[in-house]
Amino acid sequence: MMKSKKHFVGLLVASSIALAACSNQQVVTDANQNTSVEVSSQTLQSIFSEGILSHRKAGEIATNSFESKIRNQVRSDMNINFDYLANASKDELLADLENADSRLSMFKHATYRGSALEQLWALLPALPSIEKRKALQIALLERFDEQPKLANDRMAELMDLQINKLFSSFMISLDALTPETEKFEALLVQELKSEGLNISARRPSLILEYFIDSYSDQGEVELVADFEFKDRSAQAFHSLSSTTTYASSDGQQAQKDAFSLLANDITEQLIEKATHRINDVNSVK
């Protein structure tokens, strides 16, 4: 009888040890699920900056392209708080990610018809939501090794790729308003291309009508320029005027620098128009 009792007590002890072991193992598993790896805000920001398209390798989009400039302007305007991303709990990040993902649904009816310009202008307002998703996904992956499946994963990827494709199709052709102005075209085209714009007469998205005149006075040359963008239906899209002065003694390099300033002004105004479109649409959604 004593032997049987000892055996029973031994079973109880063994069972207690096994239960304790199982309990301890569950605690460790739960702890591992919620344990974050310490990642600095600078590291998260660096990873975010490395690639513009989340599903492509870094460098897929040319650094100086018009697309890159607009995407980076959108990111700058968003003013993403990387300190928050580096310190927020997993639950907070997941909730933010789900909100950003659900917001994409607001753009699912953006038109896929019309010219490249019309399609691009319809999809551009989705960029802030796409970029916010990327930043949150990076934080969850780097800190918690989490890659949650989201309802709009496929839609986000398709939108991102479509925007990329439309930027590649976004072409500008030039149309001099006078024969005297046409002599400046080669230099203007060269500088616009250096700004990352696609210049081609083949199926342009926008036609840039321009008038440029130069005046010499006391060793200085003044360039006076008027530009008007029109779409393929000849509807006005944007217009601007610019005046640039350079010393005639500096020769061709000074003239090149002056046209570089003109091209930069044109590009910056296009970027500003695009970001205004993005902000206006998002402010009412």
> Strand pairing partners for 247?
220
Q: Which domains does the chain have, with CATH numbers?
A: 41-169 (no CATH), 172-284 (3.30.160.150)
State the pLDDT at residue 193.
Answer: 96
Q: What is the mean pLDDT of residues 105-123?
A: 87
Q: What is the longest distance spanned by two Cα atoms in the chain?
A: 122
Torsion of CA 56, 62, 63, 64, to 10 degrees: -150
State the pLDDT at residue 6.
Answer: 44
Q: How far apart are CA 202 and CA 117, in angstroms?
A: 14
pTM attached to this predicted model = 0.81
Is the pLDDT assigned to residue 206 strictly greater than 70? yes
Are the C-beta atoms of residues 116 and 170 closer than 8 Å to each other? yes
State the pLDDT at residue 122.
Answer: 94
Is the pLDDT assigned to residue 30 strictly greater than 50? no
Q: How far apart are CA 189 and CA 193, in angstroms?
A: 6
Averaged confidence pLDDT in the chain: 85
Q: How far apart are CA 97 and CA 143, in angstroms?
A: 14
Q: Report which of residues 275 and 50 the model is more confident about.
A: 275
Q: What is the mean pLDDT of residues 33-39?
A: 81
- With cut-offs at 50, 70 and 90, classify the pLDDT of residue 249: confident
Q: What is the mean pLDDT of residues 251-278?
A: 93
State the pLDDT at residue 268.
Answer: 97
Q: How far apart are CA 57 and CA 32, in angstroms?
A: 30
Q: What is the mean pLDDT of residues 92-119?
A: 91
- With cut-offs at 50, 70 and 90, classify the pLDDT of residue 56: low
Interval 221-237: pLDDT, tens:
899 999 999 998 999 99
Instruction: Find the angle CA(267)-CA(123)-CA(152) to the nearest 5 degrees.
Output: 135
**Percent of the chain with pLDDT strictly greater than 70:** 84
Q: Report which of residues 112 and 271 the model is more confident about.
A: 271
Is the pLDDT assigned to residue 24 strictly greater than 90? no
State the pLDDT at residue 114.
Answer: 82
Q: What is the mean pLDDT of residues 70-78?
A: 94
Q: How far apart are CA 72 and CA 127, in angstroms?
A: 11
Is the pLDDT assigned to residue 52 strictly greater than 90? no
Is the pLDDT assigned to residue 55 strictly greater than 60? no
Q: Report which of residues 259 and 51 the model is more confident about.
A: 259
